Amino acid sequence: MRNKKKYFWFSVGSLLAMYILFGLTNFTSLDNFRDAYEDSIVDPFSYIALFSVLVSFILLFFSNKIFKLWLRKIVSWFLPLSIFLIWVGGDGNSYTTPDKTTYAIVLGFVLVAVTLVFALVQRFHYQR
């Protein structure tokens, strides 16, 4: 998936699929899953999908070369690090460790900021 338009539509589709699956469906098994794992699985993945749409929308305005560089230089280390931090994230019961949802939100904002700065720097670098 090295095409930025494919990435955009994949991220929009995943956000819509999560919304339909966990928001609109009324299956008992999904309700039980959502109630049991909302703080640890459903909410972090929802925020990850939302920030993925935002990042892919930002990258639509830049060239495919910048998108490929972003995949190699940013996502290659940021994605495993963020998955690890969300996985290790606390349950939010103490004051010192935030919950997994907070980690997902903070890492999403960091990814958006890093992506925007990286894309702008690369764009000005390749214009010379």
Please state the domain extents for the chain.
4-127
For residue 47, the cross-strand partners are none
The total number of residues shown for the chain amounts to 128
For 22-39, how does the pLDDT look when each residue is reduced to its tens digit (9 = 90+)? Answer: 776 666 676 676 666 666
How sure is the predictor about 109, in pLDDT bands with cuts at 50, 70 and 90? very high
Nearest Cα residue to 112 out of 70, 83, 66, 80: 70
Q: What is the pLDDT of residue 112?
A: 92
For 17-76, how does the pLDDT look when each residue is reduced to its tens digit (9 = 90+)? Answer: 877 877 766 666 766 766 666 666 677 778 888 888 888 898 888 888 888 888 888 888
Q: What's the one-letter identity of residue 33?
A: F
pTM: 0.74
From the number of C-beta atoms within 10 Å of its C-beta (0-12, 13-18, 19+), residue 71 rates as: middle
